[in-house]
Amino acid sequence: MGKQHISDMTKHDGESHGSLKSYVTGFVFSLVLTIIPIMVLANNWLEGRGITIVFLVTAVLQFIVQLFYFMHLRDEEKPRYNLMSLILGIFIVLLIVIGSIWIMMYNMVAL
C-alpha cells in the first residue's frame, strides 16, 4: 500500500456536505422554530386550537428545515432515491396514524 494523503482520506465518494453558513442558518431556523411554540404556550398568547395549530405548523417547518439544512435533501443528484424513500415513509406513517384514528373514532361511536 502506498502513502495516502490526508485529503484523500477525508474525501467521501460523491457525498456533499453543507457549508458552515448552511449549518448555522439551519441551526438558527431550528432555534426560532423551537422558541416560537414555547413562547406561545408560556405567555398564554393563544388558547385551545390556536396552540395546537402553532405547534403543528412549527413542527412541520422544523421537519423541512432539518431535511434541507442537515440532511442535504436539496443537494441530491438524480435519481432521487432518498426523496422517494422519504415520501414512501411519510405516506406509510400517515396511513397508519390516520387509519388508527379513524378506527378508534368508529369504535367509540359503535359502543
CA distance 86 to 81: 8
What's the pLDDT tens digit per position in 51-93?
999 999 999 999 999 988 888 777 767 777 878 888 899 999 9
Cβ neighbors of 66 (< 8 A, separation 6 or more) are 26, 30
109: amino acid identity, one letter? V
**DSSP code for 76:** P
Rounded (5°) CA angle 97-82-16: 135
Q: How confident is the model at residue 2 (pLDDT cuts 50, 70, 90)?
A: low
Residue 82, Cβ neighbours under 10 Å: how many? Answer: 13
Cβ neighbors of 67 (< 8 A, separation 6 or more) are 73, 86
24 has a pLDDT exceeding 90: yes
- Helix (H) / strand (E) element for 68: namely none
pLDDT of residue 6: 52
Residue 19, Cβ neighbours under 10 Å: how many? Answer: 8
13 has a pLDDT exceeding 80: no
